[in-house]
């Protein structure tokens, strides 16, 4: 379960002065390649943490089925319960099993006990269950400091047990830590470990590097936000559009607290000269309900955080320090766990209710979160999409629906009245964390000219709207964007068209002869 971590430090309101050049580098270096790999990518970067602190949750077999039904291909459990490990047998699900802190000293002092542990709990199941890692303890340095000195010896002993059975290539040994091991986490480039933890961390990093393992990190922007709502903008914590925070050390701009937290850890690892270690987020999540004082814990925030996390993780967006790199993330929690101690929110971290029914209707491959209505599939409008763009939408799901002949098309463009600086922020966001394919507005691209902020922003807003449209609010950009039914394409610069959602769009064109923005339509319809 998530530890209570201290507040993330001051979110400084220094406006990013990200230059076009910087934006281009970001786009070229990562996004263009990213988006093109999006559809090829294995849907395998998202996992779930399967806690079982509830007397009413479904059986392990049902949990395994639920994960498969939702194409969630990774799971982490906190123990090594044979019935649970067996429930995942003959599935493609990769399983991280766990060892409790209490077991660490024994495994550290006895190589034979560790070898036996591997034999009984890994080797016995590995032929049918895809066990791919062992999490040794949890937050050992910050919650069980009296056993800190046993941690790395236990990890080595377990590793030798694996080596002896030639399982060391397929099963990795690591130990999850939260951000409390950092003395400083802001700005991300200045992330460093607390001095008192460095001796153990140094030997752990050496172990991880020597055994080709990875760092296990638990991060909860939810908790940081809860502790410091006055300094952390909610949208920054939710991966929503925000103007970003410039890290003056690295000159990178951060658009989400999650990225900033992961990069703070990456910087701290780098400071000890282990910058090539892979990081996996072994826990993150957001509660859908909480006590009245836990104002961030609500359904909308949780759905936004989780769907954005899935989208960003599945596209292998990486972080500003590691653009385009796969950073796997395990969402805490598979089910709501009604026996979790702590604040009310602790019982509402589930992706699914305790009865197994879906809470958010998130597509775990694309991150699209339906509002009950089917996600908008690929749309081939009157004008075809840009040749450099992906050929099908992220929510394609194999469907190849042809738009009805009477379909109405819309485009999302920048408002000419918006200020350049405000549009630039939207542009940076759309081409950055928004994952829009901004290739065509790079030098030499079909839409590079005219080289104005409003033109480039329009192109980026429209692509973002088209591919990641889950609701009308994807054409907002701080009020700088608007929908139009006039095709903005010109010359060889093609703006991909989106289909006006059948209900709202056609209703309004039918009634009024003009297309009223969805937001208005939705508002009116819901009256
Ligand atoms: C560490 O502390 C815990 C809790 O205070 C205690 O139960 C445990 O026995 C201690 N372990 C060692 C090896 O000292
Ligand atoms: C490896 O396995 C052999 C036999 O299976 C055993 O005798 C030996 O002690 C083991 N070595 C380690 C380091 O566990
Ligand atoms: C990291 O490497 C640099 C350059 O080789 C060296 O100066 C520094 O002392 C190293 N730091 C640590 C913590 O090993
Ligand atoms: C499952 O539980 C949720 C929350 O308690 C409830 O809203 C929903 O109706 C339940 N679904 C079923 C099928 O019982
Ligand atoms: C906005 O930027 C364009 C070039 O992209 C420039 O022509 C225009 O004058 C700028 N507007 C303002 C108000 O600075
Ligand atoms: C974040 O964005 C989502 C989707 O556009 C929206 O539903 C949600 O209200 C936004 N959250 C905040 C706090 O603005």
SS (H, E, C) 110-137: CHHHHHHHHHHHHHCCCCCCEEEEEEEC
Task: Measure the CA–CA gap between 371 and 377, rounded to whole angstroms.
Answer: 14
In terms of Cα–Cα distance, which of 193, 181, 173 is closest to 143? Answer: 181
The pLDDT, as a whole number, for residue 367 is 85
Query: Structure tokens of 301?
Result: 């925030």
Cβ–ligand 1 contact at 140 (below 6 Å) = no
CB 175 within 8 A of CB 215: no
Query: Closest residue (by CA) to atom 12 of ligand 3?
Result: 272
Mean pLDDT of 91-102: 96
- Evaluate: CB of 147 within 6 angstroms of ligand 1: yes
Q: Would you state the structure tokens that stand for residue 246, as one six-digit string?
A: 């410039």
Q: Beta partners for 493?
A: 490
DSSP labels, 228-277: -TTTS-HHHHTT-----EEETTTTEEE--HHHHHHHHHHHHHHHTT-TT-
- Separation of alpha carbons 243 and 432, rounded Å: 11
Predicted confidence (pLDDT) per residue in 435-463, tens digit = 777 888 988 888 999 999 999 999 999 98
Condensed to tens digits (0 to 9), the pLDDT of residues 119-137 reads 999 999 999 999 999 999 9
Q: Atom of ligand 2 at shortest distance to CA of 115?
A: 14
Q: What is the 428 CA–ligand 5 centroid distance (Å)?
A: 17
Q: Which atom of ligand 5 is nearest to the CA of 450?
A: 5
**Inter-residue contact 165 to 125 (CB < 8 Å):** no
Pocket test for ligand 3, best of 273, 274, 275, 277 (most atoms within 8 A of CB): 273
Helix axes 420-431, 453-468, angle to 10 degrees: 40
Q: Does the beta carbon of 473 sit less than 6 angstroms from any atom of ligand 6? A: yes
DSSP 298: S
From residue 270, give the alpha-carbon distance in Å to each of 273, 311, 320, 494. 5, 27, 14, 43
d(CA 327, CA 347): 27
Domain coordinates of the chain in residue numbers?
Answer: 44-347, 409-525
**How sure is the predictor about 210, in pLDDT bands with cuts at 50, 70 and 90?**
very high
Helices (H), 5-147: 20-26, 32-38, 60-69, 82-87, 104-109, 111-118, 140-143
Question: Could you count the other beta carbons within 10 Å of the beta carbon of residue 32?
Answer: 20
Probe ligand 5: pick from 453, 455, 458, 459, max atoms within 8 Å of CB? 453
pLDDT of residue 2: 57
Question: What is the chain's mean pLDDT, rounded?
Answer: 81
Q: Is the CB of 123 under 6 A from ligand 2?
A: no
Going by CA atoms, what residue is nearest to atom 1 of ligand 4?
355
pLDDT band, very low/low/confident/very high, at 409 (cuts 50, 70, 90):
confident
Question: Would you say the CB of residue 4 lies under 6 angstroms from ligand 6?
Answer: no
Average pLDDT on 60-89 reads 97
| Ligand 2 and 160: CB distance under 6 A | yes
pLDDT value at 398 more than 90: no
Each residue's pLDDT tens digit, 312-344: 998 888 999 998 899 999 999 999 999 999 899
> Candidates 3.10.20.600, 3.20.20.80, 3.10.20.90, 2.30.33.40; correct CATH number of 44-347?
3.20.20.80
Q: Check pocket membership of 114 for ligand 2, CB cut-off 6 A.
A: no
Tell me if 192 sits within 8 A of 184, measured CB to CB: yes
Distance of CA 53 to the CA centre of its chain: 25
**Cβ-contact 201, 193 below 8 angstroms:** yes
Q: Whose CA is nearest to atom 11 of ligand 6?
A: 235
pLDDT value for 208: 98
CA-closest candidate to residue 317, choices 378, 251, 256:
256
Ligand 6: atom nearest CA of 240 is 1
The CA 420 to ligand 5 mean position distance, Å, reads 6
> What are the structure tokens assigned to 327, written together?
């950073």
Q: State what percent of residues in the chain have pLDDT above 90.
A: 64
Longest dimension (CA), the chain: 79
* DSSP element (H, E) containing 424: helix 420-431
**Candidate ranges 347-361, 406-420, 427-441, 512-526; pick with highest mean pLDDT:** 347-361
Which numbered ligand comes closest to the C-alpha of 102?
A: 1
Residue 106 Cβ inside 6 Å of ligand 1? The answer reads no
Residue 467: pLDDT band with limits 50, 70, 90: confident
Rg value, the chain, Cα: 24
What's the 3-state SS for 427-472? Answer: HHHHHCCCCCCCHHHCCCCCCCCCCCHHHHHHHHHHHHHHHHCCCH
**Pocket residue to mutate for ligand 1, from 108, 137, 146, 153, most atoms within 8 A of Cβ:** 146
Atom 2 in ligand 2: which residue has the minimum CA distance? Answer: 164
CA of 352 to the centre of ligand 4 (A): 10
Site to substitute for ligand 6 among 242, 304, 310, 477, most atoms within 8 A of C-beta: 304
The pLDDT confidence band at residue 517, using thresholds 50, 70 and 90, is very low
- Ligand showing the shortest atom-to-Cα distance for residue 350: 4
Atom of ligand 2 nearest to the CA of 164: 1
Q: How far apart, in whole angstroms, are the C-alpha atoms of residue 216 and residue 214?
A: 6
Ligand 3 centroid to Cα of residue 463, in Å, is 44
**Which pLDDT score, from 0 to 100, does residue 474 have?**
79
The C-alpha atoms of residue 437 and residue 386 are separated, in whole angstroms, by 10
Q: How far is the CA of 478 from the centre of ligand 4 (A)?
A: 36
Helix (H, G, I), strand (E, B) or coil at 37: helix
Determine the pLDDT at residue 269.
Answer: 98
C-beta 423 within 6 A of ligand 5: no
Q: What is the pLDDT of residue 407?
A: 57
Residues 6+ apart with CB under 8 A from 440: 386, 388, 389, 446, 447, 448, 459, 493
Ligand nearest 146 Cα, by number? 1
> pLDDT, tens digit, for every residue of 102-116?
999 999 999 999 999
Helices and strands of the chain, counted as H and E runs? 17, 18
User: Given this model, what pLDDT does residue 372 score?
Assistant: 40
Ligand nearest to the CA of 109: 1
The answer to whether the CB of 453 is under 6 A from ligand 5 is yes
Confidence of residue 71 (pLDDT cuts 50, 70, 90): very high
For the beta sheet containing 481-484, the strands, ordered from the edge strand earlier in sequence to the opposite edge, are: 481-484, 409-414, 498-499
- Residue 501 pLDDT: 62
Cα–ligand 6 centroid distance for 460 (angstroms): 19
- What is the per-residue pLDDT across 141-178, written as a single tens digit (0 to 9) for each? 999 999 999 999 999 999 999 999 999 999 999 999 99
Using omega within 30 degrees of 0 as the cis cutoff, is the peptide bond preceding 450 cis?
yes
Residue 140 near residue 147, CB atoms below 8 Å: yes
Helix axes 198-210, 148-164, angle to 10 degrees: 10
Question: For ligand 1, what atom is nearest to the CA of residue 150?
Answer: 13
Distance 110 CA to ligand 2 centre (A): 13
Residue 420 Cβ < 6 Å to ligand 5 = yes
Q: Pick the most confident of 274-278, 435-439, 474-478, 488-492.
A: 274-278
Global pTM reads: 0.75
Q: Which residue out of 56, 289, 355, 359 has the highest number of ligand 4 atoms within 8 Å of its CB and is therefore the one to mutate?
A: 355
Does residue 516 register a pLDDT over 80? no
Q: Is the pLDDT of residue 28 over 60?
A: no
Write out the H or E segment, with its range, that includes residue 282.
strand 279-284
> For residue 223, how far is its CA from the centre of ligand 6 (angstroms)?
18
């Amino acid at each position: 379960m998530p530890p209570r971590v201290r507040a993330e430090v001051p979110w400084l309101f220094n406006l990013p002065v990200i230059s076009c050049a910087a934006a281009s580098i970001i786009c070229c270096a990562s996004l263009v390649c990213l988006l093109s790999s999006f559809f090829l990518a294995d849907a395998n970067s998202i996992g779930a943490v399967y806690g079982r602190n509830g007397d009413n949750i479904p059986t392990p077999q049902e949990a395994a089925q639920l994960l498969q039904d939702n194409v969630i291909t990774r799971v982490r459990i906190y123990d090594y319960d044979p019935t649970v490990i067996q429930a995942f047998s003959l599935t493609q699900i990769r399983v991280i099993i766990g060892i409790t802190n209490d077991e660490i000293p024994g495994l550290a002092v006895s190589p034979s006990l560790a070898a036996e542990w591997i034999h009984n709990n890994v080797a016995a199941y590995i032929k049918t269950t895809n066990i791919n890692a062992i999490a040794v303890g949890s937050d050992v340095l910050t919650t069980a400091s009296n056993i800190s000195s046993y941690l790395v010896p236990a990890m080595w002993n377990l590793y030798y047990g694996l080596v002896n059975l030639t399982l060391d290539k397929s099963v990795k040994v690591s130990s999850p830590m939260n951000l409390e091991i950092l003395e400083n986490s802001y700005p991300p480039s200045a992330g460093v470990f607390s001095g008192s933890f460095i001796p153990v961390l140094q030997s752990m990093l050496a172990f991880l590097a020597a055994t080709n393992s990875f760092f296990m990190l638990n991060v909860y922007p939810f908790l940081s936000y809860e502790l410091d709502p006055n300094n952390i903008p909610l949208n920054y914590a939710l991966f929503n559009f925000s103007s970003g925070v410039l890290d003056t050390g690295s000159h990178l701009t951060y658009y989400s607290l999650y990225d900033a937290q992961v990069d703070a850890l990456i910087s701290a690892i780098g400071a000890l000269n282990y910058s090539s270690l892979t990081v996996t987020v072994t826990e993150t999540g957001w509660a859908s309900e909480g006590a009245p004082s836990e104002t961030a814990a609500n359904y909308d925030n949780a759905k936004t955080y989780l769907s954005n996390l899935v989208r960003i993780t599945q596209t292998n967006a990486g972080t500003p320090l590691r653009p385009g790199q796969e950073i796997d993330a395990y969402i805490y929690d598979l089910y709501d766990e009604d026996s979790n101690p702590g604040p009310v929110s602790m019982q509402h971290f589930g992706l699914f209710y305790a009865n197994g029914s879906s809470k958010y209707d998130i597509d775990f491959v694309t991150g699209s979160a339906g509002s009950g209505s089917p996600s908008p599939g690929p749309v081939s409008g009157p004008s075809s999409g840009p040749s450099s763009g992906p050929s099908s939408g992220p929510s394609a799901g194999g469907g190849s629906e042809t738009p009805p002949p009477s379909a109405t098309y819309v485009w999302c463009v920048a408002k000419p009245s918006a200020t350049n600086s405000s549009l630039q922020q939207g542009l940076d966001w759309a081409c950055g964390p928004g994952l829009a394919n901004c290739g065509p507005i790079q030098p030499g691209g079909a839409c590079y000219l005219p080289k104005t902020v409003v033109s480039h922003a329009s192109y980026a807003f429209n692509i973002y709207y088209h591919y990641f449209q889950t609701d009308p609010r994807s054409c907002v950009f701080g009020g700088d964007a608007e929908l139009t039914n006039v095709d903005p394409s010109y010359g060889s610069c093609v703006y991909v068209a989106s289909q006006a959602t059948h209900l709202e769009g056609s209703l309004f064109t039918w009634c009024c002869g003009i297309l009223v923005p969805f937001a208005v339509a939705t508002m009116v319809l819901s009256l």
